A = this chain, B = another copy of it.
Amino acid sequence: MNEQKTLSEAFNRTAYRLSGQGLRNVEVLKSVLEQVEGSLESDIYGKGQVIEEFQSEMAAYLGKESAVFFPSGTMAQQIALRIWCDEGNLKQVAYHPLSHLEIHEEDGLKELHGIKPVLLADKDRLITLEDVRNLREDIACLLLELPQREIGGQLPEYSELEAISAYCREKGIKLHLDGARLFEILPYYQKSAAEVCALFDSVYVSFYKTIGGIAGAILAGDADFTEKSKVWKRRHGGDLISLYPYILSSAHYFKERIGKMEQYYRDAVRLAECFNACTRVNTRPAVPVSNMFHVHFDAPKAKVEPVLIELCEASGIGITGNVREFDGDTSYFELSVGDMYSQVPEEKREAMFRMLDARLREM
């Protein structure tokens, strides 16, 4: 705990960073509001220009009839699954064992909605068409997360995705997209967001991952679905009188960064090569399919952390602020490329990787 804090502190003090969009401080919001007229009226309980315009913009971008802004994806996704369960009159859904709903939400889906999840696939691989075909229990909805974050941001081939979608439609299973990082995968698939979303009945996207907003999510689908989602949003306590701090920042950074996803993805591919060239290191996926990947060390956290702290101080480059234990005596961290990466001078980055390799070789 103490060591982790020290790595985090060392990371926060660096002049350069391999990952992210910069520190999550109040400046992120201040710089948005400096460009907004003070006379702009607040949204009021889901109504008003500021929220309705952004919802329309996102519905169009995602190719869906309607979209609703939510304070969080946790809220949006539980609600999506609840609506599909109610419609199917069946309180059972399927998702990956490492889905956000399963490991990060304190079982809200079960405790609040009484929905039982069927866990598909093994923890360390993607859900396949075969998994869906072999389901032994009826489900109202299948949730797919693209990319599958907890295994490094892996993606199925697009044809597999199309086949799963077709199978679900045939069987009357609703398909929901956990698109927390949807924007980030479009360069790899070479598809528009609307093309990917057309495979799904409902879609959630987030604005504080690579987009770099403050918080907030969009849930999109047909109008009947989104109208129901507004009722559940109120029930959850998410229909706030004012959501504009999140909406304005989402809209601002979406506009600023949506065009950079291709660059972030290319940078991630190059950066993963640098890591894979180091002793005791491999990335997951070996070749990234988005701007994110996991860096695995064949060394325990207790040995890796001091090296990373030393590198922060010696090179001025922060690699990560948070290393986690993994199976056996190994460890890993998650990396998502954003604006920070391209600010790192090339020679500094190369020197840093030489130093990293040397330190890991000494272990």
Contacts and interface: CB of A to CB of B under 8 A. Distances in A.
Interface of A: 23-31, 33, 36-42, 44, 70-76, 78, 105-108, 111-113, 208, 214-215, 231-232, 234-246, 248
Contacts of A36: 26, 30
Nearest to A248: B26
Contacts of A73: 237
Contacts of A38: 25-27, 30-31
Given A24-B44, A26-B244, A245-B245, A71 B71 contact: yes
A37 B123 CA distance: 43
Contacts of A240: 71-72, 215
B23 A41 contact: yes
A227 to B, nearest CB: 12
A251 B148 CA distance: 39
20 contacts: A23-B41, A24-B44, A25-B39, A25-B42, A26-B36, A26-B41, A26-B244, A26-B248, A30-B38, A33-B33, A42-B214, A70-B237, A71-B237, A75-B236, A111-B235, A214-B242, A214-B244, A215-B240, A215-B241, A245-B245
Given A71-B71, A214-B242, 18 more contacts: A24-B41, A24-B44, A25-B41, A26-B39, A26-B248, A27-B39, A29-B244, A30-B33, A70-B237, A73-B237, A74-B236, A74-B239, A76-B237, A108-B237, A112-B112, A112-B236, A208-B242, A245-B246
Contacts of A78: 237
Contact of A235 (B25, B76, B105, B243): B105
Contacts of A113: 112
A214 B33 CA distance: 14
A40 B29 CA distance: 11
Contact of A236 (B30, B108, B248): B108
A37 B33 CA distance: 14
Contacts of A241: 24, 208, 215
Given A39-B27, A41-B24, A238 B238 contact: yes
Nearest to A206: B241
A252 to B, nearest CB: 12
Contacts of A31: 38
